[in-house]
Amino acid sequence: MVAKLRDRGEEFKCAVAIDNHPKVKHWVRNLERDVEGAFWLPTSSGRFFPDFVCELKDGRILVVEYKGAHLRNVPSEIEKDQVGRLWAEKSAGKCLFLMAFEKDDRGRDVSGQLDGIINNS
């Protein structure tokens, strides 16, 4: 089962960047609720369901959560980023996590952020 994705907006643009990345083999829009088959990570307030789950051509798994710029400094979103990074760190290089924004703090668009996490991990 694959979750729905509107064909407009910032998350759609993120999906297009994922789809166009040469090192992404397959990807799906993650399910949004606590249902069988959804990918989730634990947080202090419950479960977090990242937006996209990707298989890279080299066999690694990349999980991407897309956030609007207005959510960059929200404590619950910062916690999600910390949990995702810890999950990736504990995977011994098998998994990557990206909290993506339209532009990151280095001015990179989503494609640049994907390049950064995929090529430098």
Closest CA to 120 of 96, 102, 101, 99: 96
User: What integer pLDDT is reported at residue 98 of this predicted model?
Assistant: 98
Closest CA to 78 of 65, 93, 96: 65
Domain 10-119: assigned CATH number: 3.40.1350
Q: How many other β-carbons are positioned within 10 Å of the β-carbon of residue 78?
A: 13
CA dihedral 76, 63, 11, 21 (to 10 degrees): 150
- Structural domain boundaries in the chain: 10-119
Within 13 Å, how many C-alpha atoms sit on residue 79's CB side? 12
pTM of the model: 0.91
Tens digit of each residue's pLDDT (9 = 90 or more) over 48-102: 999 999 999 999 999 999 998 888 889 999 999 999 999 999 999 999 999 999 9
User: What integer pLDDT is reported at residue 4 of this predicted model?
Assistant: 65
Contacts of 71 (CB under 8 A, 6+ apart): 77
